[in-house]
């Protein structure tokens, strides 16, 4: 007795799955249509997604991890090659490099943004470098122009992991068409979910055509079949990475809602930026004027992180670091090197809830609790 709060405080999760009621009818239709694998809905989702991102060479896939794997293959990355990447991301960014049989060369991040530093990329280049791979941390675009300039100067391919950054913009354009390859995730807790799913946007028509074939065992499903439907060749081995009609049917509905979802994320992000200015022991990340962030979560740098997390937890508010620096894992230990930017960021970063489920009142309550100190 005596320990329960008098007024039950509403708990606020860091992530929440958004599924609109309107998916039920199209789902029912597709589930009983007899064609649940890649077909009409997949093509329709792919077309609408390409339109939304303003990049027609878009492939709908079953995961962002597979989009990254496919991008690495299309970029020609294989055994003996090095991919320049940052460890400050989801392990799904970097695992595909190992699956491709290549090595990773870590480039440091800018500790004030969490994103990879173009100058550190330049310093990490070796004769074995083949591609640059990087995440847009928490949906805040990395310096794409500077990274592409380094890549051009050294003949490297660029792969953006935009899993956190659906709808984010850079230089007035949505992410999707700035680099050779841009990968998106529609996994459960992203801005837009198809339960599981992903997409790969390709800059070149050649990569797009080849990617389309490789996502389905290397079979060109659009080639005209002659009398015998098995009369086709497989030029090179492929994968089973295509999106299916069921998840695509969800995606078609989600696209109708995503602008409203994004607007709520951005409203909360803008609110925190203003409401949490000048809070002792708290610093905002630096944001580029060229970028319009998608605020998947709201990341800040805090002193005394454990006390911060404990204080918010006691008020029912979930916070998290979300991703552990990948070079801490044994799977990546061969690539360890000194990364002072990652060290500085990793010791202080924390993310608070920012998504569509956080009401204006919730955001005010969160800000008020933080302003009281920890
Ligand atoms: C940065 C990043 N990249 C890639 C992925 C992998 O996405 P998926 O689960 O769609 O394969 C995730 C998360 O799931 C992620 O956070």
Q: Whose CA is nearest to atom 5 of ligand 1?
A: 92
Query: pLDDT value at position 225?
Result: 64
Residue 214 has pLDDT above 70, yes or no: yes
Determine the average pLDDT of the residues in 61-84.
Answer: 98
Question: Alpha carbon 182 to chain centroid distance?
Answer: 10
As a whole number of angstroms, the distance between CA 220 and CA 234 comes to 8
122 occurs within a structural domain:
yes
265 and 313 together in one domain:
yes
pLDDT level of residue 1 (50, 70, 90 thresholds):
very low
227 and 186 together in one domain:
yes
130 and 272 together in one domain:
no
Domain boundary among 256, 290, 325: 256
60 occurs within a structural domain:
yes
Query: pLDDT value at position 249?
Result: 98
pLDDT level of residue 2 (50, 70, 90 thresholds):
very low
Q: Whose CA is nearest to atom 16 of ligand 1?
A: 90
pLDDT digits 0-9 by tens, 285-315:
999 999 999 999 999 999 999 999 999 999 9
Domain extent at residue 310: 259-371
4 occurs within a structural domain:
no
Mean pLDDT of the chain: 96
pLDDT digits 0-9 by tens, 113-133:
999 999 999 999 999 999 999
What percent of the chain is predicted at pLDDT more than 90? 93
Distance 225 CA to ligand 1 centre (A): 36
In terms of pTM, does the model score above 0.75?
yes
* Mutation pick for ligand 1 pocket among 94, 185, 297 (CB with most ligand atoms within 8 Å): 185
As a whole number of angstroms, the distance between CA 204 and CA 200 comes to 12
pLDDT digits 0-9 by tens, 224-259:
666 666 677 899 999 999 999 999 999 999 999 999
pLDDT digits 0-9 by tens, 18-41:
999 999 999 999 999 999 999 999
Assess contact for 83 and 72: CB atoms under 8 A: yes
Question: How many domains does the chain fold into?
Answer: 2
178 occurs within a structural domain:
yes
Query: pLDDT value at position 9?
Result: 78
pLDDT level of residue 5 (50, 70, 90 thresholds):
low
Computed over its alpha carbons, how large is the radius of gyration of the chain?
22
Residue ranges around ligand 1 (CB below 6 Å): 63-65, 89-90, 92-93, 135, 161, 163-164, 185, 187, 198
* Shortest-distance atom of ligand 1 to CA 135: 1
55 and 191 together in one domain:
yes
Rounded to the nearest 5°, which phi and psi values hold at 55?
-145, 100
pLDDT level of residue 220 (50, 70, 90 thresholds):
confident
Query: pLDDT value at position 10?
Result: 87
Q: Which residue has the tokens 């916070």?
A: 319
Distance 65 CA to ligand 1 centre (A): 6
Domain boundary among 228, 256, 284: 256
* Mutation pick for ligand 1 pocket among 61, 87, 142, 187 (CB with most ligand atoms within 8 Å): 187
Residue 7 has pLDDT above 70, yes or no: no
Assess contact for 138 and 284: CB atoms under 8 A: no
7 occurs within a structural domain:
no
136 occurs within a structural domain:
yes
* Mutation pick for ligand 1 pocket among 61, 71, 85, 90 (CB with most ligand atoms within 8 Å): 90
């Amino acid at each position: 007795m005596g320990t329960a709060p008098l007024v039950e405080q509403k708990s606020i999760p860091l992530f929440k799955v958004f599924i609109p009621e309107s998916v039920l009818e199209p789902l029912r239709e597709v589930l009983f249509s007899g064609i649940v694998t890649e077909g009409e809905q997949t093509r329709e989702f792919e077309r609408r997604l390409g339109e939304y991102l303003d990049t027609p060479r878009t492939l709908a896939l079953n995961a962002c991890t597979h989009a990254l794997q496919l991008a690495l293959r299309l970029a020609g990355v294989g055994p003996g090659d090095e991919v320049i990447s940052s460890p400050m991301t989801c392990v799904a960014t970097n695992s595909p490099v190992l699956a491709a049989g290549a090595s990773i060369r870590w480039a440091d991040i800018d500790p004030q943004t969490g994103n990879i530093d173009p100058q550190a990329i330049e310093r990490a280049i070796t004769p074995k470098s083949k591609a640059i791979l990087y995440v847009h941390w928490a949906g805040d675009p990395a310096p794409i122009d500077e990274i592409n300039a380094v890549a051009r100067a050294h003949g490297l391919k660029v792969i953006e992991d935009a899993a956190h950054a659906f709808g984010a913009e850079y230089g007035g354009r949505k992410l999707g068409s700035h680099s050779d390859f841009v990968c998106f995730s529609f996994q459960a807790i992203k801005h837009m979910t198809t339960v599981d799913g992903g997409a790969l946007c390709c800059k070149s028509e050649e990569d797009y055509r080849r990617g389309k074939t490789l996502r389905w065992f290397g079979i060109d499903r659009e080639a005209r079949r002659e009398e015998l439907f098995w009369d086709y060749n497989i030029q090179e081995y492929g994968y089973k990475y295509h999106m299916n009609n069921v998840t695509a049917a969800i995606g078609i509905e989600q696209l109708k809602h995503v602008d409203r979802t994004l607007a709520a994320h951005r409203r909360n992000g803008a609110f925190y930026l203003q409401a949490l200015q000048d809070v002792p022991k708290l610093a905002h990340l630096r944001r580029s004027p060229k970028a319009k962030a998608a605020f998947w979560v709201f990341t800040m740098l805090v002193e005394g992180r454990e006390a911060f997390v404990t204080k918010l937890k006691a008020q029912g508010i979930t916070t998290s670091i979300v991703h552990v620096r990948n070079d801490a894992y044994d799977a990546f230990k061969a690539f360890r090197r000194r990364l002072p930017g990652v060290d500085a960021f990793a010791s202080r970063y924390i993310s608070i809830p920012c998504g569509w489920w956080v009401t204006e009142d919730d955001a005010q309550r969160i800000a008020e609790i933080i302003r009281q100190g920890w």
